[in-house]
Structure 1
Amino acid sequence: MSRITGDPILDVQDLAMRFPVKKGLFGRTVGHVHAVDGVSFTIQQGETLGLVGESGCGKTTLGRSVARILEPTSGQIVYRGRDGAATDLATLGRRQLRPFQRDIRVVFQDPFSSLNPRMTLLQIVGDPLRAHGIAAGGELEDRVAEMLTRVGLSPKYMRRYPHAFSGGERQRVNIARALIVHPRLVIADEPVSALDVSVRAQILNLLWDLQDEFDLTYLFISHDLSVVESICDRVAVMYLGRIAELAQTAELYARPRHPYTEALLSAVPVPDPRLRDGDRRIRIADDLPDPADPPPGCRFHSRCRYAEPGTCDVPGSEPALGAVGPEHLAACHLTDRLTLQSPFDAPRSR
């Protein structure tokens, strides 16, 4: 039976996050970095939505904006609570936001810098319980011990400090801290990218098991498409602050409909040499454009091998994210004319 209920838990509409560019002695604003620029998506209860893209595309900024670690410039972040009531988190002040911070938690990328080196595991994992007035004293200690056990750590280590643990163990501590208050939505910001390959599978399996146990919904941010394929139900491909393609995982990996997605998939290593067909890697020209000055028209046209002058580079004609198939969205002027390739002839077993 699927864990996805079909009811939306999060509905993000036209979310934007712009950072001012200042120059001169008096810090005059001369422009803005468009880190997130008009992003819209929904996440269903119990779903894992993957957010992928190269470094600098804005995926981490998007995740932090949804969690309200950053205050978005504009747009809506509509969260449906436990009682079914919908609330736009983007309009709330810090005091009003506090009750929702229990329901939406973040697992950060770096398992060391995200932990206070002067705090023990008991203090780190128990801090959300104290902050939300849920438990204190002996009850808090019992809850921390139970959560550490659930993430695969021994409670007898709860009075040790983060430096005494490996990277994988510290990430388990991060996960325990996020789940100790029983949230509904977890934003996992590249939770395995800083770990050894041998440890990644353990953490991914842990996240998978905890999702079923706690009825969690994930926004899973990563640049590793192999990891995303193994854990996500749907995938959103982000490029230069906007979503370029969004589809079910198996559909997107087998039939990409955006040239940027095609290029990303071509870079995924295929472990079985019998499935390799020569060098199918698509090399994208140039570096990521300046997000403070995005290219006119389609943002990918300056690096796209299919770009057509007079169609893709016309100012004011940026392609909108539209339907190109059942539950499949893409933002490309040439989608209907292109036959894109994927190194995956068929969806691989998950």
Structure 2
Amino acid sequence: MQHRYLGNSGLKISEIAYGNWLTHGSQVEEDAATACVRQALDEGITTFDTADIYANTKAESVLGRALAGQRRESLEIFTKVYWPTGPGGPNDSGLSRKHIMESINGSLTRLQTDYVDLYQAHRFDVETPLEETMQAFADVVRSGKALYIGVSEWTAEQIREGQTLARQLGFSLISSQPQYSMLWRVIEDEVVPTSEELGLGQIVWSPIAQGVLTGKYKPGEPVPEGSRATDNQGGAENIGRWLGDDVLEAVARLRPIADAADLTMAQLAVAWVLRNTNVSAAIIGASRPEQVTDNVKASGVLLGDDVMAAIDDALGDVVIRDASLTAQQTPESRPS
């Protein structure tokens, strides 16, 4: 397992991180989730990403129990704040000082740790003054409850405004966590250049496009039983955009490229996102330990220019590149 610096900070993280969105506390029983975490550790993954919203706080608790007994200093534990947790009261979401301060305490309790290495704003909060949010994050850092601060699905403009305030308050944003894959490239034109300028690294989610880039979904065929596309707890909803025959036919054209590179389809997809020098880590998820083992083999793989060009030719116009789509990730009002 290779490690990369997270943005311009001195923090090194495993270039493949383990995340538990849509798995721990919902799709996967705790024994299976723990087995996946243990496999990740065995494979050299040191970076673990979660959020308080995942399974309404249950995912943090599962991860905390799975990591119990590990040397804390050898791990990088990330979590997030913004989406509603608890019963959904008026202050149970957003990036107000109240919600941030209460949420970090809850996350630390569930994760069984005194601090997280990275605390991330899970979305931009249009209802809270950015100055209030950044001051709260500054205080979280000064209290030692988080070592670094990052954001998730913020636009380039939001990142720039946030970084300006953060630096005035004596800290820096060091990361952005967007969706990024061969199929979804909306960060490339604006978010990535701005992040490079301001010292943020990308920790990308869904590098395998919810499993579609593994090639297991076939055009014109029913989705496999037990796959994410059959999950009614969020999986089916999130994968739906990729299940059109045009996309699946394009993905099928990637198989000979993966075979020629002696990679599985999943490894090709993860190696592709890691080819971007602004990407510090790709987050993988798993419901079985063998999936972890397969994905981590992408670490250290450098795809040549010819392979990158062949991928572009295979996918053609099914790739989504519209930079304005990042702005659609910002809720118009604070969710409840």
TM-score, structure 1 as length reference: 0.36
**Which one has more relative contact order, counting CA pairs under 8 Å at least 6 apart?**
2
The structure with more radius of gyration? 1
What is the TM-score of this pair, normalised by structure 2?
Answer: 0.37
